[in-house]
Every structure is written in C-alpha cells, then in structure tokens.
Amino acid sequence: MANKEQEPLLFIDNTACERCYACIRVCPTHALKVSGEEGYPELMPERCIGCGHCVTVCSPGAIEYRKEKDSVLSLLKSDKKTAAIVDPSISGEFHDITDYRKFVEMIRALGFDYVSEIAFGVDVVAAQYKQLLENFKGKYYITANCPAVVSYVEKFHPELVDNMAPIVSPMIAMAKIMRKKYGGDLKIVSIGPCVAAKQEALQYTGASKVDAVLTFVELREMFQEHEIKESKLEFSDFDMPIGWKGSLYPISRGWLQTAGLSEDLLEGKLITAEGQKDMIDAIFQFKEHVNFIRRNLNLFYNEGCLMGPGTSRGGKKFVRRTLVTDYVAKRLETISKSRWKENLDLFSQLDYSRAFSKNDQRLPEPSEEKINEILKIIGQEDKSEQMGCQVCGYRSCRDFAIAVSKGIAQPEMCHTYTTQKSRQYIESLRKTNKKLEETQEALELSEKTARHEQQLAKEASQRSTTMLKKLPSAVVIVDENLKILESNEQFIEIMGDEAREINEIIPGLVGADLKSLMNYNIHNLFSFVIKNNEDIMNKDVKLKDKLFNLSIFTINKNKIVGAVLRDMYQPEVRKEEVIRRVTDVIDDNLNMVQQIGYLLGESASVIEKKLSTIIETYKDEDEKNKGKKDA
C-alpha cells in the first residue's frame, strides 16, 4: 500500500477521460493544464488546494481522490484502540438512516472502539474564535476552519498568511481532545464530506495527528462491503464528550451561532462567504480594501460542509440543511448542558494554536506584448470585449490570455476561438471547392479534345458513388494527406452534424480533412496504414459513444487507403452468428471496394491480389471457427 505522503490527493484516469475540460473550467487555481498531442488534462499537485471541485463536475468519473479504506482497515485490525470522529454534516448525508443512534452503531460495527462527533471540537474552536475576535487589536482575520481556504491563501495569497486566524480546525481540535480523554496512543479516523481534510491531516503529528480520513462516500462503500445495515443493529450513542451547538457547523453561519458571534449588519464584525466564487471574491477584496471593509471573514469553499466533494452526488442543499437543523434540535433536547460545560472548561485548557506557511505558487506575469498576441489569436484584441463569456473558467479574456501565456491553458479552451476556427475551416473548404469548380471550367474550355475522357471519368465516378451509397456499412477513401477522396452517406451520418454541414457544401466530403472529423486515436490508424502498407482488419474502436468494427486497407501503396466501419450495436447482429456475419460482410464490402478501386483507375492486378489475400484470410478464419464449433 502506497505511503499517503507520497500518493497524490487527486489523479486522472485518461482511459475514462472524455477531454470535455469541465475540470479545467471549474478549478479555482488552474491546477490543471492541457499538454501533449492527445490533449488530456494534467494535474499540477503543487497548485492544487484539494477543493475537489473537479471531482464533482467530472461526469465520466475520470478524476478520483485518494481512498483510505485500506488504511482504516489496517488500523482496525491492529492492537491499538481506534476512534472515529464524525463530522456533524453526517445527518445531512445519511438521510436514509432513520435514527442517528443506529448510524453510530453501524460505525462501531466496522470495529471502532469509540465513535464521537466533531461537534464538541467545533464548540471548543468556536470559544477560541470568540476570544480572538472580541479582543480586537486593530487586526482583521480570516477563519481557518476550511482546509481548502487555508491552502488557497497559503499558495495564492501568501501575503495574507498573517491574517489567518491561528486556530486549528475542529477536526484537529477533536483529535487532541480524544487523545486527552482516551490515551495518547489512540488512533484517530476522521469521517466527513471534505477531500482537502485528507491533506490537512498529513500536516500534524503527536496529539494532533489524524491517522486517516474517510469521506462519506468511502464510509458508504465500507458499509456495503461489510454488509452492515441499520435493520440488523440496535441503538448506540456517541461517546463523550458530546457537542452542543457545534452540530450546526455544516451550515456556514452555524458555528457563529455556536460561538455567540454576531453577524448583525450594523454591529457585527464578521462577513460570511461560501462557495468558490464568493470565497475568492471575498479574499481579493479583503486584500485590497480591508481597511474600508473593517470586518473579519468567515469563509468556506463549499456551501458550508453540506455539499462537499466527499458527499454523495445529487444531494440537495436545502434538504440537507433541514436534516441538519432537525437533527441538532432533537439532540439539544436530551443533552446535559451542565456536563457539556464541565467538559468545555476541562478541554479548553489544551493548546489549539497553529501556524501557517507561505507556499507561493503564483506564476510570473507575462509581458503585455505576449498577452496582446494571445488576445489577437483568440479574436479578442478589442479592449472593450475582454470581459468574455467565462466558459473557459477565467474571469475575462485577458485573464485567459495570461493563463495561455503562462503555459497553463490552451487557445482551444476558448469557445469563441474554436467556433471561429470551425467556421474558417468550412469557409476554406467552400473557397477550395469554388476554385476547383473554376479550374474544372477552365480545363473544359482549354482541353476540348479531352471531353470524351472526362465524360467517361464522370460516369465512372457516378457509378462508384452509387455503389458506395448501396453499401450497408460506412466507407471512406483517403489520400496520403488524410484528405477524403470519396465517402458514402453511412460514413457522413456516423461523423455527425459537422460532417453533414460540410456535405451540404461539398457532396461526399471530397477534400475534407479526416483529422477534423475523427479523434486522434482513430485517424492515427489511417496514417499507420499509409506509412507502413500494413492493413488493419477488424479492429474495434469507440467513436461518438458507439462501438464500431474498423478495417483499413491499402488501395495504392503509400498514397490511397480505404476503410470500412460497421456499427456493432445494430440489432441484426446476433451473438451466435457474429463470426459468420463478420466474414460475409467483409467479403461483400471488400469485393465492392475492389470494384471501386478499378473505377478509380488504380492498378487492377495489384488491388485484386491484395483483396484476394484479405478475403482468403477471412475465409480461413471462418473455416477454423466452424471446425472448432463442429468439434
């Protein structure tokens, strides 16, 4: 098992990545860049703050965070006592558990010796904040409860490090409290909605150490893997110390109520901001106008802790908020406030201070000349239009141009730029087609003696086009530059809207660039066959979310190749007849393409020999398969 200190917090599975770049657009620190010819996003860990936003927007699930279930199981199997400290937002996540006492027992069933709620750690930390903020000495602070906010300030606003409240997060405070109560060798596992907490835990040792961090998603998986169900268990309550209003912590303003801090618009000294955009705006404005704002900042990257990246997808914020407040109201009815006060006085004697480090990850600013060059490339050199659509993930076209200049973005991420390129390409094809028509007319006027041959060639082309249209499979023929010489309607339909639009201008896509219609992995196969004269037969490829069987073969060595694409999802393809049908279809298509090769004027003997070899290969394979079936 990899060491957590060496294993990255986030990683990308390129086999699942669809290169939609949603992750790049939402990353607040632009810790993802596009590099390499294939254009996959690449994570820059040094710039990542662990917010997990990229995980939540990645619909194919290509981005994952570090899982620690194995680490937890190892702790539970050891001879050390192990405690689970649970984030109060658990009531919003596990709406399917009818009684929180059943939930506590489910965690115990995994093998934990103690199960406590971080709510008491919130109570202790809130008291520390109340003392700090009410003892005003001319300095304004930013709360340090959210690890993603802390990391953002340390890396991208290091000049504000001294304004971070020097108080540990509730998770770290609760770890100290549990070891004080149950022994210094106690192992601590934190369970919550936060991914950044996994990195925060690595920063502490000794009494403050958190040995592993599980998200709610990981906890659900462990329940399923160990077949732990509510219906099989009895009630069990949290171990001491029990929290008071600290259970309101998941709601961004909840801990202020815990601390008794006012957010009154006239008298309060705190401003709360939650969510990526408001959090970032608040920090920028705090840095530039703190002496005008004259308020402390209470910041959370996510919307409190209710919608953290470690929660189940599809959760509804206000439903979860209601679940939390209902849970807290019910808990407060039975909790002994006097006993809670005794514990608060006892554990408040511990040291909850912390320090921060400057880890500046800002990149050098590019020259104005370079920025203007990029703005010109993306068509935004007009200063009045630099606000931009923000689809690329940057606040303005200028910010995007700066990112491109720094090497952490590419022009193709700009929606306007890619649209313009597409239009330019279609216009270029239109102009090319017009020039070809003009050239054809000039040739007809200057070469009257060749009219008969041209008419024959035209008729031959029409016959080949007619045969192509009758083929049930998609067929395309391209030259050494991957320019389309001929294609049928089935191929155009598979290629989609862009191909249909080009076909309206240039029938059959003649002259169109295959690279603009197919992804790199597929058009690279055409280049391979052209370069090496090695046919590729019956290769399954994924295109436009469908599975196709692809065969690419040489028509004219190093100059012209043809390809046949068959849709493997067609209902008539039956499982028990796959081998026979594949062989029949290939035979029919190759015979037809052989005729097309003749009509195009290629060497008949070379094509016949090549196609005969391919046909015999498939017949031999078919006979072998039939022999195996008879045996």
CATH code, domain carrying 71:
3.40.50.1780
Residue percentage of the chain with pLDDT more than 70: 81
Q: Which of 125-134, 308-317, 567-576 has the highest mean pLDDT?
A: 125-134
Q: Which of 118-132, 299-313, 510-524 has the highest mean pLDDT?
A: 118-132
Taking every pair of Cα atoms in the chain, the longest distance, rounded to a whole number of angstroms, is 111
Give the pLDDT confidence score for residue 384 in this predicted structure: 45
Give the pLDDT confidence score for residue 483 in this predicted structure: 92
E strand or H helix that includes residue 618:
helix 604-630
Task: Give the total number of structural domains in the chain.
Answer: 4
The answer to whether position 607 is within a domain reads: yes
Give the pLDDT confidence score for residue 574 in this predicted structure: 45
E strand or H helix that includes residue 251:
none
Same domain, residue pair 236 and 115: yes
Strand segments (E) across 133-209: 187-192
Comparing 65-69, 94-98, 604-608, which segment has the lowest mean pLDDT? Answer: 604-608
Same domain, residue pair 496 and 582: yes
Strand segments (E) across 60-106: 63-65, 82-86
Closest CA to 190 of 212, 206, 208: 212
Which whole-number Å values give the CA distances from 128 to 190, 249, 291, in the listed order? 21, 15, 24
CA dist 181 and 446 (Å) reads 101
The answer to whether position 439 is within a domain reads: no
* Interacting residues of 17 by C-beta distance below 8 A, sequence separation 6+: 40, 41, 60, 62
E strand or H helix that includes residue 110:
none
For residue 142, give the DSSP letter. Answer: B
For residue 291 the two structure tokens come to 């002496």
Domain that holds residue 368: 363-424
Q: At which of 318, 347, 376 does a domain end?
A: 347
Give the pLDDT confidence score for residue 63 in this predicted structure: 93
Same domain, residue pair 109 and 148: yes
| Predicted confidence (pLDDT) at residue 554 exceeds the cutoff of 70 | yes
Same domain, residue pair 370 and 341: no
Which whole-number Å values give the CA distances from 212 to 191, 203, 234, 627, in the listed order? 9, 12, 27, 58
| Predicted confidence (pLDDT) at residue 102 exceeds the cutoff of 80 | yes
Same domain, residue pair 95 and 60: no
| Predicted confidence (pLDDT) at residue 423 exceeds the cutoff of 50 | yes
Closest CA to 148 of 196, 84, 204: 196
Same domain, residue pair 391 and 471: no
Closest CA to 340 of 348, 328, 329: 348
For residue 557 the two structure tokens come to 């060595």
Q: What is the mean pLDDT of residues 472-487?
A: 88
3-class SS string, 4-21: CCCCCCEEECCCCCCCCC
Q: At which of 372, 407, 424 does a domain end?
A: 424
Same domain, residue pair 284 and 377: no
Closest CA to 156 of 46, 15, 54, 11: 46
Whether the CB-CB separation of 35 and 42 falls below 8 Å is answered with yes
Give the pLDDT confidence score for residue 7 in this predicted structure: 83
State the CATH number of the domain containing residue 35.
3.30.70.20
Which whole-number Å values give the CA distances from 205 to 114, 185, 630, in the listed order? 20, 12, 69
CA dist 158 and 165 (Å) reads 14
Comparing 224-233, 436-445, 572-581, which segment has the lowest mean pLDDT? Answer: 572-581
82-86/187-192 β-pairing: parallel
| Predicted confidence (pLDDT) at residue 400 exceeds the cutoff of 60 | yes
The answer to whether position 447 is within a domain reads: no
Same domain, residue pair 71 and 54: no
The answer to whether position 178 is within a domain reads: yes
Give the pLDDT confidence score for residue 573 in this predicted structure: 46
Q: What is the mean pLDDT of residues 239-248?
A: 88
Comparing 171-180, 232-241, 346-355, which segment has the lowest mean pLDDT? Answer: 232-241
Give the pLDDT confidence score for residue 396 in this predicted structure: 76
Comparing 199-213, 228-242, 281-295, 393-407, which segment has the lowest mean pLDDT? Answer: 393-407
Give the pLDDT confidence score for residue 421 in this predicted structure: 72
**Residue 491 vs residue 396, higher pLDDT:** 491
The answer to whether position 449 is within a domain reads: no
The answer to whether position 357 is within a domain reads: no
State the CATH number of the domain containing residue 519.
3.30.450.20
Residue percentage of the chain with pLDDT more than 90: 34
The answer to whether position 276 is within a domain reads: yes
Q: Which of 185-194, 358-367, 549-558 has the highest mean pLDDT?
A: 185-194
Give the pLDDT confidence score for residue 266 in this predicted structure: 60
The answer to whether position 497 is within a domain reads: yes
Same domain, residue pair 525 and 624: yes
Same domain, residue pair 544 and 602: yes
Same domain, residue pair 193 and 295: yes
State the CATH number of the domain containing residue 381.
1.10.15
Q: What does the pLDDT look like over 334-365, one tens digit per residue? A: 888 899 899 999 999 999 999 999 999 988 88
3-class SS string, 440-489: HHHHHHHCHHHHHHHHHHHHHHHHHHHHHHHCCCEEEEEECCCEEEEECH
Q: Which of 28-37, 416-425, 603-612 has the highest mean pLDDT?
A: 28-37
Whether the CB-CB separation of 38 and 65 falls below 8 Å is answered with no
For 200, the 3-state DSSP assignment is helix
Same domain, residue pair 285 and 373: no
pTM above 0.75, yes or no: no
Q: What is the dihedral of CA 583, 588, 590, 596, to 10 degrees?
A: -170
Q: What is the mean pLDDT of residues 408-435?
A: 73
Q: Which of 1-10, 117-126, 389-398, 621-630 has the highest mean pLDDT?
A: 117-126
Q: At which of 323, 347, 371 does a domain end?
A: 347
